Structure 1
Amino acid sequence: MGIESVLSEHRTFHPDQTFVDQANVSGMAHYEKLCVAANENYEQFWADLARELIVWKKPFTQTLNDSNAPFYKWFEDGELNVSYNCLDKHLNTQPNKVAIIFEADNGDVTKVTYKELYEKVCQFSNGLKTFNLDLGDRVVIYLPMGIEAVVAMLACARIGLTHSVVFGGFSAKSIQERIKDAQARLVITADIQFRGGKTLPLQAAVDEAFNLGGCESVIGTVVLKKSKDPIELDSKKIWWHDLIKNQSTKCDPVFVNAEHPLFLLYTSGSTGTPKGVQHSSAGYLLHAMNTMRWTFDIKENDVYWCTADVGWITGHTYVVYGPLAMGATQLIYEGIPTFPHAGRFWQMIEKHQVSIFYTAPTAIRSLIKASELNKESNP
């Protein structure tokens, strides 16, 4: 039995000539030329891209090791640092360019430049060093959308730790499962998060996860304070602001092997036990950068917005690593599409002059539904 399609959209939208002339892939002829190059010698194709886009500490000499297929290794004798590729390499060319425009749930806006983001990441990296973790140790990140989530991920990458981000809407049981399976050494969370006009607990969920057992590998927890209420932390927890107090805004990156695990991201578990999927440093970064260039056609003056949460792979690639490695200015939003009204997305696009917008069909459907309900209630 086939799947019935309910799609009835037949319109096509052709770009104007100015758009075509400026595009990173200028048309079908360009696309077909890339396909021919990839098909004729895919190793050379990816080697050329890796040398063009990534800054290497130690250049690779072997593109692909397929001796243990299907466990392929790419650029395995090369060395790099992903945080360096997202931050340091921009400091000589665009230190004062806005890296992130953050709009909070309540509408407050914060902007950070590449230099400011670099300093925040270095400070937090130096704070993480005080835990004396080893290269490749796993760090679970359970944070709301915001600048700090990006900082935490890049700080882990900077000093060779492997982060595992957990979506902020997941339960204590989901957190516990991931901590236990990854044998995480550290947890980074916040006391609360703001979402859709509501205040939701995060630290309490982490505490509950610990109480479920199996989290004995964790030696400490860093807590970002977002509420104004006085809260006491136990001896195994430290406030984010206390961790970075008096820390230097410079931190040398740890250069790692191209196959070093950058992050461990778990499947949702909707069809069984969540499975941790490991992503290596160089191959993943190259994919993130190249798709930003060819798929999203990112340019120097664009303001880019991907609405995905960093707890998902889309958020990892198209909110954190892809845009920053390409030196883009991007918008990050803390809230939901329909708060305080269903026009929030369009309002933000206009306010921040977003030129590239990437969202999910689910979000669009929710906005269509909200629009239809509004028409029914206001005929």
Structure 2
Amino acid sequence: MKLCSVRVLKRSIKFCKRQELHRYVSRHSFHLNSRLSYEVHYPLSIKDPDSYWGEAAEKLVWFKKWDKVLDTSNLPFTKWFTGGELNHCYNCLDRHVESGKADQLAIIHDSPVTQSITKLTYKQLLEQVSYLAGSLSELGVTKGDRVMVYMPMIPEAIVSMMAAVRLGAIHVVVFGGFAAKELSVRIDNCKPKVILSTNCGVEPSRTVNYKPILDEAISLASHKPLKSIIYQRPFMTAANLNKDQDMDWNDAMSQQRPHDCVPVESNHPMYLLYTSGTTGLPKGVVRPTGGHAVRLHWSMKSIYDVDPGEVYWAAADLGWAVGHSYGAHAPLLYGTTTVLYEGKPVGTPDPSAFFRIVSEHNVSCLFVAPTAMRSIKRDDPNAEYAKKYDLSGLKNLFIAGEHCDSATYEWCKNAFGAPVFDHWWQSETGSAITCSCIGLGNRPNPPEGSSGLPVPGWDLRVVDDNGLEVPRGTLGNIVAKLPLPPGAFQTLWNDEDRFKNAYFAKYKGYYDTMDAGVMDEEGYISVMSRTDDVINVAGHRLSCGHIEEVINQHECVLESAVVAKNDSLKGSVPFGFVVTKPECEGKSSLLSEIIKHVRSEIGPVAAFKDAVFVPRLPKTRSGKTPRGSLQAISNGKPYKISPTIEDASVFPELEKIVGQYNPAKS
């Protein structure tokens, strides 16, 4: 039986395995790790979430068992395992050491940019985390305090995250590519008591000095942390430390006693993850401890078909959702070895990097963004480098973060010699919304462009702007019926109104994913585009509105509009339409100045380098800029002109300017 859709859940239960389903529901334990099919797991997770997720939660160690599995008394604020107490760090580290896995590798840090490989066992990682937790405690960090981590891809970043969790503190990881201004905004928003950073990050062609960026961010921020703990990377120039503000990492590790785990209530925030908002102000996604741990632990087998002791590699930075969930937390929860990679897909030193790591470290499952694969494919179209390595240990390759084109998909299968699975998820969800749950025996060949079927717990619908379900195969807005499953965000930091209004106000009783897509007759979901102005650049979500704000700060700019332009490598890149002041018209250095300014304010992650200068922007009568039409123009696509546009004659002029634009000469 194939599950047709969430919409026909009752009908599917009636016609397929109804008696079998009720038999499993009625039992105390229905054995989630048994050979039950996806067709049984999925409807059970929707019909009886208490039994389904209660069974999954039993796999973890709780200091106090929950009073209630699911609490929907205050939707959209879904709560899971209320009354239960646990510590995430204990489940990631202590319990594995206590069960005899002390000498198993927890982290493999592979850094071609520093030509080094570092390995930490679970025992070694636990020791470092315990001592750092002791130091943080001595500085006054307690349950609920925020601890910010501003580091590159090094083991000390995970040590810092886990040390905060050990104390019940809330960790906030900020991607090392962000500039001081962006870092300061996050400091003011979450108000960390302590910041953990390092002297530098290393890239193929340069060394990025983190300490000056951090110092500038603190000077710009209204909130001042009590202390910054700085890890001085060996073989690099040491950063100058301020004796009043800074503390050396080695001093922090050597002067304290190890600290035990602090139990927290299941819905206690474990971390904040900042994601772009349409206003330019970052949204601090709040991840609850219990539901997050249960969901990730369940997913390692159910989705990725990984076994404890295997090597799992999520090739994503820790400051992004994938790096958080599957670079650090999920692999350690499940007792696997996680690969932490400090390098690029190509250029460190060549396109062989990913093949080498899979072979050398015997990676069982690889999770990567399509952009990385396109980079390798561009430099190694026939996958000649892959032939130099034994990749037979790779069982599965998962792709997420953006749409994967069919050519890249096929290249991945041929290059790695393993099944390739696309799946869809968001920073807000913390794990997959749709995918092929291969650990549940769900190994279909989804239609081209599809990201799979809804994951257990996600009750998906595709609706029109009025909230009515559209016919199968019709483009619409993808929404999820409440309650949200375990692990999804529970609110936005210090902004409950924004949480409700941004995600739940438009469709009553549903979570608005803000993605548009199609559900086919068999229930497969194809995500087509965003429904707001947040664009996806190489798996990194960025706000067009925020980039516009930065561009408009330039003294020569009157106004601007930024849209998503298709890019063969990154999926999408920001493309600007800029209106300049009359006295600046024809200024040859203006574009380079604007690009430099965006890079300074937001960071190179914005990937902003293309813009055209236009005499004016089209406006509706209410003063809005039709960004959808501008996006179509930037991509050479047909578009419709709204009847509310004041002066439609500007569109042919814009088409001509874009058509004459030559990036090579900019």
**TM-score relative to the length of structure 2:** 0.51
Partner of 2:367: 358
Select which of 124, 142, 149 maps to 1:116. 124
Aligned-residue offset at 1:69: 1.0
Partner of 2:143: 135
Structure 2, unmatched stretches of 5+, are 1-31, 385-666
- CA 59–347 in structure 1, closer or farther in 2 if over 3 Å, else same: same
Aligned-residue offset at 1:41: 1.0
Check conservation: 1:25, 1:31, Cα contact below 8 A. Answer: no
- CA 191–304 in structure 1, closer or farther in 2 if over 3 Å, else same: same
Partner of 2:107: 100
- d(CA) in 1 for partners of 2:205, 2:298: 37
Select which of 87, 91, 95 maps to 2:93. 87
- d(CA) in 2 for partners of 1:78, 1:301: 28
Match status 1:201 vs 2:209: yes
Aligned-residue offset at 1:265: 0.7
Select which of 289, 293, 299 maps to 2:301. 293
* Greater alpha carbon shift after TM alignment, 92-101 vs 33-42: 33-42
Match status 1:39 vs 2:39: no
- CA 231–266 in structure 1, closer or farther in 2 if over 3 Å, else same: closer
Match status 1:332 vs 2:340: yes
- CA 230–309 in structure 1, closer or farther in 2 if over 3 Å, else same: closer
- d(CA) in 1 for partners of 2:127, 2:309: 23
Partner of 1:312: 320
- Greater strand percent: which structure? 2
- CA 25–171 in structure 1, closer or farther in 2 if over 3 Å, else same: farther
Which residue identity lines up with residue 161 of structure 1 in the other structure? A
Structure whose CA Rg is larger: 2
- CA 236–373 in structure 1, closer or farther in 2 if over 3 Å, else same: farther
- CA root-mean-square deviation: 2.0
- CA 301–154 in structure 1, closer or farther in 2 if over 3 Å, else same: closer
Which stretches of structure 1, 4 residues or longer, exceed 3 Å deviation after superposition? 23-26, 268-271, 372-375
- d(CA) in 1 for partners of 2:328, 2:369: 17
Partner of 1:259: 267
Partner of 2:81: 75
Check conservation: 2:232, 2:238, Cα contact below 8 A. Answer: no
The answer to which structure, 1 or 2, has the higher relative contact order (CA under 8 A, 6+ apart) is 1
- CA 252–374 in structure 1, closer or farther in 2 if over 3 Å, else same: closer
Aligned-residue offset at 1:270: 6.9
Match status 1:349 vs 2:349: no
Match status 1:56 vs 2:65: no
- d(CA) in 2 for partners of 1:348, 1:334: 12
Aligned-residue offset at 1:213: 3.2
Partner of 2:535: none
- d(CA) in 2 for partners of 1:272, 1:25: 46
Select which of 66, 81, 94 maps to 2:72. 66
- Greater helix percent: which structure? 1
Match status 1:157 vs 2:165: yes
Aligned-residue offset at 1:119: 0.3
Where 2:301 maps in the other structure, the secondary structure is helix
Aligned-residue offset at 1:323: 0.2
Partner of 1:240: 249
Partner of 2:231: 224
Partner of 1:15: none
- d(CA) in 1 for partners of 2:196, 2:334: 26
Which residue identity lines up with residue 344 of structure 1 in the other structure? A
Select which of 283, 292, 313 maps to 2:291. 283
- d(CA) in 2 for partners of 1:189, 1:47: 38
- d(CA) in 1 for partners of 2:311, 2:305: 12
**TM-score relative to the length of structure 1:** 0.87
Select which of 178, 183, 196 maps to 1:175. 183
- CA 172–230 in structure 1, closer or farther in 2 if over 3 Å, else same: closer
Structure 1, unmatched stretches of 5+, are 1-22
Check conservation: 1:141, 1:165, Cα contact below 8 A. Answer: yes
* Greater alpha carbon shift after TM alignment, 90-99 vs 148-157: 90-99
- CA 290–230 in structure 1, closer or farther in 2 if over 3 Å, else same: closer
- d(CA) in 2 for partners of 1:36, 1:66: 19
- CA 124–231 in structure 1, closer or farther in 2 if over 3 Å, else same: same
Cα deviation digits, residues 162-183 of structure 1 (max 9, x gap): 0110001111111100000112
Where 2:363 maps in the other structure, the secondary structure is coil
Where 1:289 maps in the other structure, the secondary structure is helix
Where 1:110 maps in the other structure, the secondary structure is strand
